Structure 1
């Protein structure tokens, strides 16, 4: 993540994508996000609300493994927590809608 102060998500997202240049790291983010959605749906639909405490563990766990062991970089969560959380979901949306490669290329990532 760039050391310059970022003031908007539009400014943040290309840098966020560059920090996720490795496809395995991105895949771990996607797995974590899909599992978060599955557990959220299950917990709400079965009224097992205590399960909701595991959502950050699942989401951040998969993502941070990707950063610390694959990308070998510092997660943006530590500097830009809100933008980083939003970035996870926008990146997942871009993946699901087939736009991720274009967005990565636009951010300067070799696909």
Structure 2
């Protein structure tokens, strides 16, 4: 795959996060990692061990059992982290549906 920009990777990333449940699990993992990072600053540095465990744990679950794909973090760790936070920001600001439409993706009907 020939990725030349953040926007190219964003499109690639969103193709691997097409189901709303996958994005929700990523949101939870990112939120938990932010909370654990703040706890490591406020309370004790031991919480730093939970930062990657929560982020990767939730995303691995969503990819393997919901999306049916393998996480793109393995090949692109930094761009994937950037897109995780971008996804988180779009979801927290309510702009995810608009972004999915911009990318030409239709919402996927899911029960869970």
* TM-score (ref. length: structure 1): 0.90
What residue number does 1:26 align with? 23
Q: Which runs of 4+ in 1 moved over 2 A?
A: none
Distance (Å, rounded) in 2 between the aligned partners of 1:107 and 1:75: 20
Q: 2:71 aligns with which of 75, 78, 81?
A: 75
Q: 1:49 aligns with which of 45, 49, 57?
A: 45
SS in structure 2 opposite 1:75?
coil
Structure 1 unaligned spans of 5+? none
**1:40 has 2:37 as partner:** yes
* TM-score (ref. length: structure 2): 0.90
Number of equivalences = 107
**Aligned-CA RMSD value:** 1.0
How far residue 8 of structure 1 moved from its aligned partner, in angstroms, is 1.3
How far residue 108 of structure 1 moved from its aligned partner, in angstroms, is 2.4
Structure 2 unaligned spans of 5+? 108-112
Distance (Å, rounded) in 2 between the aligned partners of 1:106 and 1:15: 14
Checking the alignment, whether the CA contact within 8 Å between 1:18 and 1:107 is kept in structure 2 is no
